[in-house]
Amino acid sequence: MGKIARDQHLPAIAADAGLVLAATSSPNSPGVEGVPHFRTLEALLAEAEVDAVALCSSPQVRYGLAATAIAAGKHVFLEKPPGATLSEVAALEALAGAAGVTLFASWHSRYAAGVEPARAWLAGKRILGGRIVWREDVRHWHPGQAWIWEAGGLGVFDPGINALSIATRIWPRPLFLESATLSLPANRAAPIAADLTLRDATGTAMTMDLDWRQTGTQTWDITVETDGGMLALSSGGAVFTVPGETRHDEDREYPGLYRRFAELVEAGTSDVDIAPFRLVADAFLRGQRETVEAFED
């Protein structure tokens, strides 16, 4: 019941006629007036009638919570990133399959209004190259969140994985990491900035500039150069621009996620796409580290 739960999950659930917020759980934060609240997930599962659980905890503790919910026969919605490691997510997928419940690794940025139009527009084009610039102010978006600077917290890849979730959705071919430089503050275990070069099997490159030290205007842009002109996705994927056309539709990321989750539960299937997470893991595996000045929140 932290910031993302209150800002995004609760409004999306409330707006969907097919969903009911049956209970909440948090060891420290209060619940919602009129809704049963429990300090632990185990207590919630023992006392509340629920069909599914949305886990909005930090990724370092996500596996244990998800495994507990799956063992209780509940469908599970995982906030991004889906876990602290790829192995954890693979284990959860196997547990969900054995239990016959749905597991959904959600990527909210894929549900931004411009993403599917971008995917469709690029499908018939020859891609010449692409660039991601994802720069924001960590003090504004993650104030006092110490977990994000710890091992497994991802640092600047917490927002950066949103860009990668879009890139892996719209790019017609699989992307892999060629090189990376990670900038780690002297007093932190996770990077505050990163530069990546990705390529696909044809050798076409997409570069990525991540930085958490941006002040003023925030930048969440992806551009792709093609033989038919340039595609631009800005404002995190909400604004779609190609030659002769610009679209800017309303925010529908989290409502889209919950619709998808409900569809998966109804169909008895799971959706556990780890392509964005795999690229982040590759950056930590292969990237060069550089130490930069200490960061104080």
Q: Span 148-175, mean pLDDT?
A: 95
- Give the bridge partners for 182, in sequence order: 194, 289
Q: Span 123-149, mean pLDDT?
A: 94
For a pLDDT cut of 70, what percent of the chain falls above it?
A: 100
Reported CATH class of domain 109-250+280-292? alpha beta
Look at strands 193-200 and 205-211 and give their pairing: antiparallel
Q: How many CB atoms lie within 10 A of CB 173?
A: 11
With bands split at pLDDT 50, 70 and 90, how would you rate the model's confidence at 277? very high
Report the pLDDT value the prediction gives residue 104, as an integer from 0 to 100.
98
Closest CA to 194 of 154, 243, 157, 163: 157
Q: Span 223-250, mean pLDDT?
A: 95
Whole-number Å distance between alpha carbons of 113 and 252:
7
Cα torsion 243, 244, 245, 246: sign: positive
The packing angle between helices 115-122 and 157-170, to 10°, is 40
Q: Span 150-158, mean pLDDT?
A: 93
Report the pLDDT value the prediction gives residue 152, as an integer from 0 to 100.
87
* Structural domain boundaries in the chain: 3-105, 109-250+280-292
- Using a 10 angstrom Cβ sphere, with 0-12 exposed, 13-18 middle and 19 or more buried, the burial of residue 199 is middle
* Catalytic residue of the set 3, 74, 80, 125: 80
Lowest mean pLDDT among 37-51, 244-258, 259-273: 244-258
Closest CA to 280 of 161, 134, 188: 161
State yes or no: is 125 an active-site residue: no
Closest CA to 111 of 243, 283, 261: 261
pLDDT at residue 250 above 80?
no
Report the pLDDT value the prediction gives residue 156, as an integer from 0 to 100.
97
Across 201-275, where does the E strand assignment appear?
Answer: 205-211, 219-226, 229-234, 239-242, 245-248
Report the pLDDT value the prediction gives residue 144, as an integer from 0 to 100.
87
Report the pLDDT value the prediction gives residue 251, as an integer from 0 to 100.
74
- At 114-131, the pLDDT tens digits run 999 999 999 989 999 999
pTM summary value? 0.94
CATH number (2.60.40.10, 3.30.2350.10, 3.40.50.720, 3.40.50.450) of 3-105 reads 3.40.50.720
- Here the contacts of 262-269 (C-beta below 8 Å, separation 24 or greater) are 262/16, 262/18, 262/19, 264/75, 264/102, 264/104, 265/51, 265/52, 265/75, 265/102, 268/100, 268/102, 269/102
Whole-number Å distance between alpha carbons of 281 and 83:
12
DSSP, residue by residue, 119-155: HHHHTTS-EEEEEEEEE-BHHHHSTT-GGGGSTTS-T
Q: Span 26-42, mean pLDDT?
A: 94
With bands split at pLDDT 50, 70 and 90, how would you rate the model's confidence at 249? confident
- At 59-90, the pLDDT tens digits run 999 999 999 999 999 999 999 999 999 999 99
Cα torsion 92, 96, 99, 102: sign: positive
- At 168-196, the pLDDT tens digits run 999 999 999 999 999 999 999 999 999 99
Report the pLDDT value the prediction gives residue 297, as an integer from 0 to 100.
86
